[in-house]
Amino acid sequence: MSTHNGVKLPQSHAVYPGSFDPPTNGHLDVIARAAAIFPLVTVAVVVNPQKRSPFFVLDEREEMLRRCTSAYANVRVDHFRGLLADYINRISADVIVKGLRVVSDFENEMAFAHMNRSLSNVDTTFLMSDSSYSFVSSSLIKEVFLQGGDIAKYVPAVVLECMQQKRLAHGRK
């Protein structure tokens, strides 16, 4: 937590957690909004042992996020294993940021927010991404891309390039 003239600044370090497999324009929209509100935003990629075959490995996801957020001086990219609540404590962050696209997102997020507060007394702030991204999710992007659809509108150029490279590396057009 930072201070200003000796006064503790509350909620000055925000953590925006996610799988980011891959990062989408919706994620970037939330990052931009968070960076305009909080002095420091850590975009934290979860190392999720349950998801055995991600499209991008952890290093690739972090690298894409770094390239996509390089314009923001107050955004850093990191990763974590285990509980988000423990990670928040470890790095002394103050608040969690989550993006909401549609009302149904809120149903799960509310339980997560209560659990995280119960575990580590950290609050969650919800930022609504632009309505033009309301239907954009990483899983849908992968599905459309793998079926040959055009995803250029939904992901940053860096991500599109990485997805195309990955497809070439696997010998598919």
Please say if 70 is a catalytic residue.
Answer: no
Binding of residue 84 to ligand PNS (CB under 6 A) = yes
Query: CA distances (Å), 97 to each of 56, 86, 100, 106, 124, in order?
Result: 23, 16, 10, 13, 6
Interface segment toward ligand PNS; rule CB under 6 A; list 34-42, 55-63, 83-91, 145-153 = 83-91
Residue position matching structure tokens 């990483």: 138
CA distance 75 to 34: 9
Q: Which of residues 103 and 169 has its CB atom nearest to ligand PNS in the complex? A: 103
Q: Which of residues 34 and 84 has its CB atom nearest to ligand PNS in the complex? A: 84
Q: Which of residues 23 and 38 has its CB atom nearest to ligand PNS in the complex? A: 23
Which tokens in the block code for residue 121?
């007394």
CA distance 124 to 14: 9
Is residue 128 a contact partner of residue 47, using CB atoms and an 8 Å limit?
A: no
Among 79, 112, 120, 126, binds ligand PNS (CB under 6 A): 112
Active site positions, annotated: 27, 51, 101, 138
Using CB under 6 A as the criterion, which residues of the chain lie in contact with ligand PNS when the complex forms? 17-19, 46, 83-85, 112, 115-116
